[in-house]
Amino acid sequence: MKSHLLVSLAAIAICTVTARADTPVGVDLSAIDKSVVPGDDFYAYANGSWLKRTEIPADQSRWGSFNILNLEAQTRTRALIEDAAKTSAPGSEARKVGDFYAGFMDEAGIEAKGIAPLKDQLSAIAAIGDKKALALALGAALRADVDPLNNTNFQTENLFGIWVAPGFTDSEHYTPYLLQGGLGIPSRDYYLGDSAKMKAVQAAYKTYVAATLRLAGIADGDKKAAAIFDLETRIAKAQESIVDSQDVVKANNVWARGDFAGKAPGLDWEQFFRGAGLTQTGSFIVWQPSAFADLSKLVADTPLGTWKAWLAFHRINHFAPELPRAFVDARFDFYGKALSGTPKQQDRWKRAVNLTNDAMGDAVGKLYAAKYFPPASKAKAQEMVKNIIAAWGRRIDALTWMTPATKAKAKEKLFGLYVGIGYPEKWRDYSRLSVVKGDALGNQMRADLFEYHYSIDRIGKAVDRHEWSMTPQTVNAVNLPLQNALNFPAAILERPFFDAKAHDAFNYGAIGSVIGHEISHTFDDQGAAFDVKGRLHNWWTKEDFAHFKQSGQALVAQYNAYKLFPDLAVNGQQTLGENIADNAGLAAAYDAWHRSLGGKPAPGDQGLTGEQEFFLGFAQEWATKTREAAARQQVLVDVHAPGQFRARQVRNIDGWYPAFQVQPGQKLYLPPAERLHVW
Ligand SMILES: [Zn+2]
């Protein structure tokens, strides 16, 4: 599925050029381009002036509301971490946070050590003598680095990835899910495409692999890079597509540990599970079974030397951020420049903040929430969530096509949602994570392992439905289908999404549509497959489900028609869950806002009517500029459509038409019968 709000913000950065112009409260009037007819291009009308005057900062691949707010969260977080380093007691959690950050910031220390911190690992790979030892090493490399449902991360450069979460059928207990992996470029499409643009990325990747091996003192870099690329091309062919991987019914394959040898012969699975420390685990859910069979066969069919080179490269690639500058720069030349079009690397402190957040997110988040999440924001957000859930319930009641039996189940699920706002009720315990002062690479390695053991140690244990999957300092929001829960982190409850001083019209259009979006994931094409307890269980009548599927297909067709470049259209199926969430979420936020007016007319502000504020609040949150390479990558790997197309959801809402005098003949105009309402 695809439950969160937006594309990953992994690469964020410097803000010298373009904060949005100062606005008092509510809609940013200076962003509007009055030369555009709203009915022709509402996104350009709402954001055109901002788009014209804004340059993407040199260290960014995209720039928009989310990025600007994320930079603010990073800046605050940096100060919190630096302060923690100075004032906290030795051995305390806050001191660990400070030491982790400081270790990464010590560039001179990292430079002086060279490749030495990785030497043991590379020697161990070089010493692998047969396929049995290879299987053990592949198992030992397994990490908890994928998440197909909550944060929609389908990629790992290890051969497989593990995700431990509530089970598909037993949502009361943590269950291990295994997913395909093995690629250094983050989508199989890059390996299989033969356009000039794809070929250029492939060539840049081979150059990078060779350069990295050379820097690490590994002989025959060019030859090995070619072999690694050939192997990864075969891995890409073995992998399932993102569209197939999003189908949770297809993903529900329970394999006993003893089944792997028969169902996916080639890899020595006994050794693999021994390396992974999973010999006590009875069964797994195998997300892409055909890929497991094919990847396992590849282990048998490909020479040992190629696998060893592949392992060595990916080990260095994974730890390159903690290695000397030559490795860091080579990595940026590929992932930053070639793949995303970003000219300049992020300042070191930003990378340090991101890595500290990844390693000890809750420890940092505890500091963040205490300082930056006022109770008034929580109260207002809670009230909006309550109103939007109520509006959703009324929308379900009003559906003409749905039978009473299905309606009752849908409402049971809706009113059973657990909603977390700001920060979690319980924080992660990091006492078992060892952070060593001045050991950046070792700290990263221990943090990866800490996360891995945290995950696998709880297999079979009781699920905590209130557990969060995002940190408070994350500018995003998420729906957790297996927990029937939502998280709205503190860092998104800020301008331009939310402003306690602004009109309700603005807040419902902006953060209200975000809240509606996350609630709607409960009922998107995948979310609808889970019941009130988070079980993969069909609660629909056959006719109702057929109708729901059919309205989804209309939305697929609407988005398939949107072209980012003449040669690249949005994938309506890949983005369907997100588009359903946008569609239904905006409609529910609009209803809830109207209801909150209690029959009185909406007050206006800044020369805008309340109706205009609502829709502009929505369209302005999607203002984004993206470099071409990054935009192309987004269409291939992301389950979210680009912001400019997300803003077009307004054309499916009747209220938008009178608010901006949208007329037949204008480009976004849809006759009433063609406006899509999935819910
Ligand atoms: Zn979403």
Selection from 466, 478, 386 nearest residue 418 by Cα: 466
Q: Which two tokens stand for residue 291?
A: 């890929």
What pLDDT is recorded for position 123? 98
What pLDDT is recorded for position 496? 85
What pLDDT is recorded for position 4? 64
- Quick check: 21 pLDDT over 50? no
What pLDDT is recorded for position 419? 95
Say if residues 662 and 39 touch (Cβ distance below 8 Å): yes
Q: Which two tokens stand for residue 131?
A: 């396929």
Beta pairing, strands 624-626 & 283-286: unpaired
Section 494-520 average pLDDT? 91
Query: What single string gives the DSSP state of each residue in 195-264?
Result: SHHHHHHHHHHHHHHHHHHHHTT-S-HHHHHHHHHHHHHHHHHHSPPHHHHT-HHHH--EEEGGGHHHHS
What pLDDT is recorded for position 18? 34
Q: Which amino acid is at 548?
A: F
What pLDDT is recorded for position 421? 96
CA of 177 to the centre of ligand 1 (A): 21
The pLDDT mean for the chain works out to: 93
Confidence of residue 44 (pLDDT cuts 50, 70, 90): very high
pLDDT tens digits for range 225-267: 999 999 999 999 999 999 999 999 999 999 999 999 999 999 9
What pLDDT is recorded for position 180? 98
Burial code of 637-650, b = ≥16 C-beta within 10 A, e = fewer? bbbbbbbbbbbbbb
CA of 516 to the centre of ligand 1 (A): 10
CA of 566 to the centre of ligand 1 (A): 26
pLDDT tens digits for range 131-182: 999 999 999 999 999 999 998 899 999 999 999 999 999 999 999 999 999 9
Confidence of residue 2 (pLDDT cuts 50, 70, 90): very low
CA of 621 to the centre of ligand 1 (A): 14
CA of 518 to the centre of ligand 1 (A): 6
Neighbours of 307 (CB within 10 A): 22
CA of 578 to the centre of ligand 1 (A): 5
Ligand 1 being an ion, which residues bring their Cβ within 5 A of it?
5, 578, 581
CA of 73 to the centre of ligand 1 (A): 21
CA distance 378 to 66: 20
Section 201-216 average pLDDT? 98
CA distance 359 to 366: 14
CA of 479 to the centre of ligand 1 (A): 7
CA of 149 to the centre of ligand 1 (A): 11
CA of 525 to the centre of ligand 1 (A): 12
What pLDDT is recorded for position 606? 86
CA of 220 to the centre of ligand 1 (A): 45
What pLDDT is recorded for position 591? 96
Query: Which range has the top average pLDDT, 19-23, 266-270, 499-503?
Result: 266-270
3-state secondary structure of 440: helix
- In Å, how far are 11, 70, 621, 624, 625 from 14, measured between CA atoms? 10, 11, 20, 16, 15
The lowest-confidence range among 4-18, 245-259, 350-364, 554-568 is 4-18
- Quick check: 323 pLDDT over 60? yes
What pLDDT is recorded for position 16? 28
Section 531-544 average pLDDT? 92
CA of 482 to the centre of ligand 1 (A): 15
What pLDDT is recorded for position 6? 54
- Return the DSSP state at 640: S
CA distance 617 to 610: 10
CA of 514 to the centre of ligand 1 (A): 9
CA of 665 to the centre of ligand 1 (A): 32
CA of 151 to the centre of ligand 1 (A): 9
Selection from 21, 74, 108, 585 nearest residue 354 by Cα: 74
CA of 471 to the centre of ligand 1 (A): 17
Say if residues 377 and 497 touch (Cβ distance below 8 Å): no
What pLDDT is recorded for position 12? 26
- Return the DSSP state at 463: P
CA of 7 to the centre of ligand 1 (A): 9
Say if residues 164 and 176 touch (Cβ distance below 8 Å): yes
Say if residues 490 and 80 touch (Cβ distance below 8 Å): no
Selection from 181, 9, 153 nearest residue 639 by Cα: 153
User: pLDDT exceeding 70 applies to what percent of the chain?
Assistant: 96
CA distance 514 to 269: 44
Neighbours of 491 (CB within 10 A): 27
- Quick check: 5 pLDDT over 80? no
